[in-house]
Amino acid sequence: MAHMSRLIVALGLFALSLSPAAHLAAQDADEEQPFGEPPAAEEAEKPIAVPSHDPVVLALMARKPSTPEELGRAIDTLIDLHALYEAGLLTKQLLDAKLDDADWVALVDQLGSPLFLRLALIDELQPEGRRVSDAALGAAERRARDPRRLAKLIDQLGDASPAVRRGAMIRLAQGREAGVQAIIAAMLDPARAAQRPALRLALTRFGPDAIAPLEALVRCDVPALELQAILTIGELGRSELALDLLAPALAEATPAEVRQAAREGLRQLLGRVPDRDEAAKTLTIVARRDFDAALQQQASDAASATVWQWDVEKSQLVPTSLSPLVARLDVAAYRAGDALKLTARGRAARRIYLAAALEAATYRAQADLAPQAAPDAIQNVLAAEDAAVVADLLEFALATEHSVAATLAAQALGDLAKDDLLYHRQPQSSVLVEAARNSDRRVRFAALSSIMRLKPLKPYPGSSFVVDTLGYFASSFGQPRVLTADARPAELQTLAGMLAGLGYETDTAGTEREVVAETVASPDYLLALIDYSLAAPTSGQLLERLRRDARTARLPIGIIASSDDLQRAERLARRTPLSRVIIRAANPPALEMQIERLLNDVGRRMVSPDERRAQAEQAVAWIADIISRDHEIYNLRRIERPVATALWLPATSADAARVLATLGTATSQQSLVDLASQLTQPVDMRQAAADAFAVSVAQFGTLLTTSEISQQYDRYNASEHQDEATQRLLAGILDVMEARATADEGE
């Protein structure tokens, strides 16, 4: 156990800082400005440089430097003397010389790159300084990456002169990614077998930049390269890289020569070779850390990072641009995959591997995370797994709040599982039912989809929750909707007017109770804008209540604040997930900018109005399918209200009418005749509602009140001047009621 602790400390704590994911682009650490603050002032005008009267400067200019080297050295001296006016004159002269790449490269070799970096950063020397810098450093960069030059440097690694060999190694390192690729290609060349020790030494000269390529090579499935990478890791001497040697050293499938090299590398780096259980546990712990850390890198606008991957088709190690999120998930997946190679009891490692691989594949595929957009991710990762493994994966993804993995696992269970999955944990609800109650909208919908495909034949624990979820999705209008909340009606009216101008449907609330009631009732809210006077912590703790309810847990919340409340509102926003301060805006553009920043926090988890509309249509279709079957599992009267809402939408009206016809309630019949009598609605929708009313009356009798029946007669009488189809439709409703009344009297 003491060895285990030391191994975790020696390896695990370094994994997050020195794994490939740690080589990502650095993030800006400055605090973000709060919403609503005026945009930063435009860049100041170029500072004006004035001529210098320093005798040294005057003497230097009197020499009239003219060659590129003379100009460069003079510029460097003038900058040190703060004679920026004169330095600018010579910089323009150097630019006007129109040097070619060879001249620029020679100049960089003579003067060094720091001078050209300085030229790009001094405001008084722009724009000429930046142009000189780009030309010189660009030429040097192209020269450093030139394949023919790199090939010559590779040849020089075998030179008899130590000085030549050292110089070749330094220049190869200057080629960065291209230099790495040249060395790796040479390692693959059988004719250079004797040169491989020198190639490995050259790779170590890249220092920390060699870590990511070496980690990629260790798992490239090319034994000759794996061997060279492992030997290089041992020679590099960085103990944290021992993590990458555990699987090659201990897995039974590793080729003997590679395994022996990996074991020797572990002895060099750690002083011993851990046993398989110890190594598997360490790898699982590190994989879990990376997997959890990925949740912190969900921003859709995060800068891309360069990582290394083995291209099987090209037989080449290539740098690839990935988001920090995908890079971190990849690290978690391959660490967990290494753990699985070492133990048959790797439930935790398998969960992490599958979840991380699913999410990485999905994020690679597209920015939109709708589950139907990434079928290959499910097929490729879950193809060999059974329903029990995927159900366990779903449970893990829900517990760790990895909603993408949970969505894909829930969706896959509809194809892999049988309906008995819904009864496995009686009397508790199954994992699919729990997923159907999750706070993430896509997770809920994917779980609901699988339950509908399983078509259970008898009641199961949690079936009432499934009905509620069906109703939730069915009630969506698919419109971009915002809830605004303020105790002051005038402020509400002003805000609603600005939102309408931005294209949002708006609902208003004046109390905490109204906020909760509105937000849980509608699935269409993209965000809520709540004045600090209501959002501020009180006995009701409004924001906490919204975050506890699965229907509103991920609703973006803008806390509207004035200057008096700003600091308190910011503290509240920091304590409340997915919330930001919205400084009270004076005009729609200022409000729109702040809303965009709030929605950007949701990133890829944002569900568009179009996707919400499609979910509503599918939910109503599922409800209609349920009523077409003989058995009764679901009490659909629980969701009469959302189905009645769907009745008024062209895409869902026909299915909703069929459902309402089976409910046998007075309100369902009233909904049907109201639509059928609404002259502004399409005639086909009205006729479908009238037909559904006839079905309902035939089965349950006329459930309308006397006043409602009288209203139908008034509607018919008022249709005297309407078209013939309308008159016939309204007459048909009366015929249905009268026929049923006659039949009831006869009985």
Could you read off the pLDDT of 590-647 as tens digits, one per residue? 999 999 888 887 766 788 888 999 999 999 999 999 998 866 789 999 999 999 999 9
Average pLDDT value for residue range 473-496:
91
ω into 427 cis (within 30 of 0): yes
Task: Name every residue whose Cβ is closer than 8 Å to that of residue 546 and which is 6 or more positions away in sequence.
Answer: 515, 516, 519, 528, 552, 553, 555, 557
CA dist 258 and 248 (Å) reads 7
Sequence ranges of the domains in the chain: 1-23+206-365, 55-144, 367-461, 481-607, 637-746
Q: What is the pLDDT of residue 158?
A: 80
Query: Taking 70 as the threshold, does the pLDDT of residue 326 lie above it?
Result: yes
Extract the tokens encoding 396.
Answer: 């893990």
Query: Taking 70 as the threshold, does the pLDDT of residue 705 lie above it?
Result: yes
3-class DSSP state of 481:
strand
Task: Name every residue whose Cβ is closer than 8 Å to that of residue 208 and which is 6 or more positions away in sequence.
Answer: 18, 23
Q: Which of 245-249, 375-379, 380-384 has the highest mean pLDDT?
A: 245-249
Query: Taking 70 as the threshold, does the pLDDT of residue 324 lie above it?
Result: yes
Q: What is the pLDDT of residue 1?
A: 42
**Better pLDDT: 145 or 596:** 596
Q: What is the pLDDT of residue 139?
A: 85
Helices (H), 219-275: 223-236, 243-250, 256-270
Task: Name every residue whose Cβ is closer than 8 Å to that of residue 458 and which is 6 or more positions away in sequence.
Answer: 631, 633
Q: What is the pLDDT of residue 299?
A: 53
ω into 127 cis (within 30 of 0): yes
When pLDDT is cut at 50, 70 and 90, the band that residue 4 belongs to is very low
Q: What is the pLDDT of residue 603?
A: 67
When pLDDT is cut at 50, 70 and 90, the band that residue 150 belongs to is confident
Q: Which CATH class is domain 481-607?
A: alpha beta
Query: Taking 60 as the threshold, does the pLDDT of residue 80 lie above it?
Result: yes
Computed over every residue of the chain, the mean pLDDT equals: 86
3-class DSSP state of 8:
helix
When pLDDT is cut at 50, 70 and 90, the band that residue 37 belongs to is very low
Residue 235, burial from CB neighbour count under 10 angstroms (0-12, 13-18, 19+): middle
pTM: 0.77
Average pLDDT value for residue range 441-451:
95
- The Cα-based distances of 256 to 144, 216, 248, 252 in angstroms read 38, 20, 10, 9
When pLDDT is cut at 50, 70 and 90, the band that residue 43 belongs to is very low
CA dist 672 and 213 (Å) reads 67
Average pLDDT value for residue range 268-278:
93
CA 321 to chain centroid, in Å, comes to 16
Residue 12 DSSP label:
I
Average pLDDT value for residue range 506-529:
91
Question: Residue type at 567?
Answer: Q
Average pLDDT value for residue range 541-555:
89
The 3-state secondary structure of 649-713, one letter per residue = CCCCHHHHHHHHHHHCCHHHHHHHHHHHCCCCCCHHHHHHHHHHHHHHHHHHCCCCCHHHHHHHH
Average pLDDT value for residue range 502-510:
92
Q: What is the pLDDT of residue 539?
A: 59
When pLDDT is cut at 50, 70 and 90, the band that residue 26 belongs to is very low
Query: Taking 70 as the threshold, does the pLDDT of residue 315 lie above it?
Result: yes
The answer to whether 540 and 555 have CB atoms below 8 angstroms apart is no
Sign of CA dihedral 149, 151, 154, 160: negative
**Better pLDDT: 553 or 176:** 553
Q: What is the pLDDT of residue 297?
A: 66
Q: What percent of the chain has pLDDT over 70?
A: 90
Query: Taking 80 as the threshold, does the pLDDT of residue 367 lie above it?
Result: no
Q: What is the pLDDT of residue 641?
A: 93
Task: Name every residue whose Cβ is closer than 8 Å to that of residue 256 and which is 6 or more positions away in sequence.
Answer: none
CA dist 580 and 116 (Å) reads 42
Q: What are phi and psi of 408, to 5 degrees?
A: -70, -40
